[in-house]
Amino acid sequence: MKIYREKDVDSFALAGREVAVIGYGNQGKAQAMNLRDSGVKVVIALREGSERMKTATRDGFRVGKIEDVVGRVHVIAMLIPDEFHMDVWNKYLKGRLREKAMVVFASTVAVHFEGMNFDSNIDVVLVGPMGPGDALRSEYRAGRGLPAKVSVMQDASGRALDMCLAYAGALGCARVGCIETTFKTEAELDLFSEQVVLCGGIPYLALRAFEVLIEKGYPPEQAYIETVQEIRAIADLMFRYGIDGMRRRISTTALYGGKVAGESLIDDEVRDKMLSLLESIRSGRFYKKFKGERPVNRQELEAIPDDMREAREKVSKLFISDVDRLFGR
């Protein structure tokens, strides 16, 4: 596995070049601010009538319509949700970019699963920070950074890798390290980890455990602490020391109980389900289903499933804020 660091970055590769950031959500705003603070000239490109135009203007950025901006800049960062990549490319970017311009993606899901085809005279790269925009921004301001995944899909200029690393460096990612990957690997691994571990596995396991404790009469606030709040302590140990290091740092009771229960809960049936999910991802069936069933807006998606919302409501906002203070959140 190749990892690029600051010593590998040509800090002058972006000199005199202008970056258009398409989108001004969590990731777009953070990347735009980090780029600007690194001395890069940035313009925010949004669709006409976007509510985020005023926000970006208040934050001190020049703002323009996508179709008015993309043809004159050197770098275009596609920082909108995956499901809109194809439409925006076809409507606003295809055939409009300058010779040897570079298009940067933070996610390769749409590129890979929708088979996006790009003009042959441009560079296409991945710079995917490994964390949300808030963390990317706060780590940059603290003099640190988030690691990122990088890849070159198309190199028309002959300097796509240099430009890709320069962009990652301007985000602060090269301070930690940029991991070389491919668009295919990134797309498939990203979806699998989200579904099986990060956004599907951990939250739903915590929810079911919370519900079991409530059904058996345990106080909701204490059940919440044990099944949700304490995840951070174990996650921090795993992040810092790995799974083996985490196991060396917990009690014998916790170690034994975790082994017995873990082998019982995460059995061969669960493994088979994981394999099934991976096959659904790799075959493109998941993304096709997502595109076909995608709710009209995020609010609809966030409201699913109802039992997760109801479980959260069992613990009052006042109590959660108290617990947050207790745990230094």
pLDDT in tens, 277-287: 999 999 999 99
Q: How confident is the model at residue 105 (pLDDT cuts 50, 70, 90)?
A: very high
Cα 8–chain centre separation: 24
Burial class (CB in 10 A: 0-12, 13-18, 19+), 201: middle
- Residue-level pLDDT at 312: 67
pLDDT in tens, 28-49: 999 999 999 999 999 999 999 8
CATH topology of domain 3-181: Rossmann fold (3.40.50)
- Residue-level pLDDT at 53: 96
- Residue-level pLDDT at 305: 57
Strands 123-129 vs 148-154: parallel, antiparallel or unpaired? antiparallel
CB distance 166 to 14 below 8 Å? yes
- Residue-level pLDDT at 47: 93
Tokens 């301007």 belong to 170
Asked whether residue 313 carries a pLDDT value surpassing 80, the answer given is no
3-state secondary structure of 162: helix
Residues of the chain with CATH 3.40.50.720: 3-181
DSSP output for 199-230:
TTHHHHHHHHHHHHHHHTT--HHHHHIIIIIT
Q: Mean pLDDT, to the nearest integer, of 83-87?
A: 94
pLDDT in tens, 56-74: 999 999 999 999 999 999 9
Amino acid letter, residue 205: L
- Min mean pLDDT across 75-84, 212-221, 315-324 is at 315-324
Q: Mean pLDDT, to the nearest integer, of 296-304?
A: 65
- Residue-level pLDDT at 310: 66
Asked whether residue 328 carries a pLDDT value surpassing 90, the answer given is no
Torsion of CA 247, 253, 254, 260, to 10 degrees: 90
Beta bridge partners, 178, equal 4, 148
CB distance 168 to 130 below 8 Å? no
DSSP annotation of 14: T
